[in-house]
Structure 1
Amino acid sequence: MLEQITQLFMHYGIWGLFGMAFLDSFISPIPPFFMQIAMSLLDPASALRYATVAFTASILGAPIGYMLGKWLGKPLLRKLLPDKWTTLATEQFAKNGDAAVLIGAFTPIPFKVFTVLSGVFNYSLTKLMFFAIIGRGLKFFLIGTLFHFYGKHAKILLDEYLEVTILGIGALVAIAWVIWKKRRKRYS
């Protein structure tokens, strides 16, 4: 079924990629990452354009995920979980939400998880957008840049080194985050 949905989006080319990336920010079960790779493999010269389209659509969809979390997620959460758990989760997201959104926007974890949870836990929409721009930009433009410079050979690089690269960049982002937080506390 997922393959059929992907094929449907692929039929519409760049607009299909836009739609898939947009919907990934709040509802779609299929990440646009795979479609971006497939399209970049077919036309490596347009890889940076595909990255730009996927990035833009993903960022435009983020506020919708946020609002869905705010409007629908909170009442649902209150019905499913005790107040003390909801309060604890809200506090933890307030404390660690920056890192969660930044790292989550880059990793293969569905982006909608972070946009919706941001709304549910009253995380700042401005911060969500800021960290989404950084994380999603890294993710989509890393793939676009690889295909732009290495063409079809980028697929081989991705197959062999994608997991290690994502973990490495995720670790670097996490380390940079910790350093930034410590410096911020020092100067506060």
Structure 2
Amino acid sequence: MLEQITQFFMNYGIWGLFGMAFLDSFILPIPPFFMQIAMSLFDPDSAMRFATVAFTASILGAPIGFMLGKWLGKPLLQKLLPPKWTALATEQFSKNGDAAVLIGAFTPIPFKVFTILSGVFNYSLTKLMLFAILGRGLKFFLIGTLFHFYGKHAKILLDDYLELTILGAGALVAIGWFVWSRRRKRYS
């Protein structure tokens, strides 16, 4: 089924990539970077354009995931969980939401999880968008840059080093967030 969904979007080329990245932000179960990689493999000269399209669509879809979480997720959560658990989860997301959204926007974890949870737990839409821009930009443009400079050989690099690259970049993002949050607390 996932292969059929991916093939459906592939039939529409760059517009399919846009649609997949947009829908990934709030409903689609398939991350768009797989399609971005496939398209960049066929046309490495357009890799940065593909990165821009996927990034833009993903950012445009983020507020929809946020609103779905606010409108549908919150009432559902309140019906399923005791109020003390909901209050605790809301408190934890407000304390650690910055790191969760920033790291989640970059990692292969479905982005919709973070956009929807942001709405459910009353996380700041402004912060969601800021961290989505940073994390999603890093993710899509890292792939685009690899294909731009290495062409079809980038696929070999991704196959051999994708996990290590994601862990390394995720660690750098986490360290950056930690330093930023420490400085923010110091000057507050």
TM-score, scaled to structure 2: 0.99
- Answering whether residue 75 of structure 2 is matched by residue 42 of structure 1, we say no
- Answering whether residue 124 of structure 2 is matched by residue 124 of structure 1, we say yes
SS at 2:112 equivalent? helix
How far apart are the structure 2 equivalents of 1:25 and 1:165?
23
Q: Which deviates more, 134-143 or 169-178?
A: 169-178
Q: Taking every aligned residue pair, what percent have the same amino acid on both sides?
A: 88
Give per-residue Cα distances to partners, 1:106-141, cap 9 Å, x unaligned: 000000000000000000000000000000000000
- Answering whether residue 89 of structure 2 is matched by residue 93 of structure 1, we say no
What does 1:1-188 correspond to in 2, within 5 Å?
1-188=1-188
SS at 1:109 equivalent? coil
Ranges in structure 2 where 5+ consecutive residues have no aligned partner: none
The aligned length equals: 188
**Offset at 1:187?**
1.5
Q: Which deviates more, 96-105 or 171-180?
A: 171-180
How far apart are the structure 2 equivalents of 1:93 and 1:121?
7
Corresponding letter in the other structure for 1:61: G
How far apart are the structure 2 equivalents of 1:26 and 1:143?
22
**Offset at 1:180?**
1.1
SS at 1:164 equivalent? helix
How far apart are the structure 2 equivalents of 1:65 and 1:113?
8
SS at 1:149 equivalent? helix
How far apart are the structure 2 equivalents of 1:183 and 1:125?
22
How far apart are the structure 1 equivalents of 2:29 and 2:179?
34
How far apart are the structure 1 equivalents of 2:32 and 2:107?
12
TM superposition outliers: structure 1 runs of 4+ over 6 Å: none
**Offset at 1:184?**
1.4
How far apart are the structure 1 equivalents of 2:66 and 2:164?
30
Give per-residue Cα distances to partners, 1:144-177, cap 9 Å, x unaligned: 0000000000000000000000000100111111
How far apart are the structure 2 equivalents of 1:63 and 1:180?
24
